[in-house]
A = this chain, B = another copy of it.
């Protein structure tokens, strides 16, 4: 059975990663996965948050937001509401945690890497696209520190990408759900995986539904393939920096 946008169950949407999209940040990309578009900027700050001070280690933290009209219906700005939603906080925590898992924080000194993921257009999968794009922006920013001889070597120990998989309401397991699929799916799972194929995060949710062990395996298998393709794309974007990741 074909999907609404003619993709196969195992097929990703077209991916495009544009490096250097914004001028000021130390690392910046625009990542596009189909109609989903996220600006991922990485900024270096020469200090760490209070709870990390004096340990000689660095920190990575992320913020995520959507433009009000990234979506079909306009959303109220979180700055106008005066608070950040639970969904936003979950995503921010996820992005930061994922990126920290592939960086040796003891090698960047007492510095914070701020990751800003701003969704300018949304069509499902914004949190996984954010992680995949943010990884590239972060590596670019860290590489700049190497270039400037602030740190000796790139402290990135593996590649990292994220993708969504799910079970549609008809029981079909699919890769990379767009908004329409996501909003009607029975099960939704986000997988964050390294270049070596190890899990960093696994978040599966039955949306007023449940899933069994067999469906779990089918989803994990789809996800693994998607991650593989995404990491190829990251390597293309990073070019010669790719070899410094180890």
Copies in the complex: 6
Contact of A93 among B90, B92, B93 (CB under 8 A): B90
Any chain B CB within 8 A of the CB of A118?
yes
Q: Indicate the member of A39, A43, A67, A212 with the most B CB atoms within 10 Å.
A: A67
Any chain B CB within 8 A of the CB of A82?
yes
Q: Mark A52-75, 1 if CB is under 8 A from B, else 0.
A: 000000000001010111111010
- Give 8 closest A-B pairs by Cβ, nearest first: A86-B89, A198-B210, A78-B79, A202-B204, A79-B79, A41-B69, A43-B74, A25-B69
Q: Find chain B residues with CB under 8 A from A189 CB.
A: 202
Could you tell me if B202 and A39 are in contact, using CB atoms closer than 8 angstroms? no
Any chain B CB within 8 A of the CB of A24?
yes
Q: Find chain B residues with CB under 8 A from A207 CB.
A: 97
Q: Find chain B residues with CB under 8 A from A82 CB.
A: 82-83
Interface of chain A: mostly helix, strand, loop or mixed:
mixed
Any chain B CB within 8 A of the CB of A216?
yes
Any chain B CB within 8 A of the CB of A145?
no
Any chain B CB within 8 A of the CB of A229?
no
Q: Find chain B residues with CB under 8 A from A197 CB.
A: 212
Contact of A24 among B72, B93, B116 (CB under 8 A): B72
A201–B190 alpha-carbon span in the complex (Å):
12
A28–B70 alpha-carbon span in the complex (Å):
11
Any chain B CB within 8 A of the CB of A6?
no
A108 CB to nearest chain B CB (Å): 14
Q: Indicate the member of A194, A197, A209, A213 with the most B CB atoms within 10 Å.
A: A213
Mark out the residues of chain A between 82 and 140 whose CB falls within 8 Å of any chain B CB in the assembled complex.
82-90, 92-93, 97, 100-101, 105, 114, 116, 118, 120-121
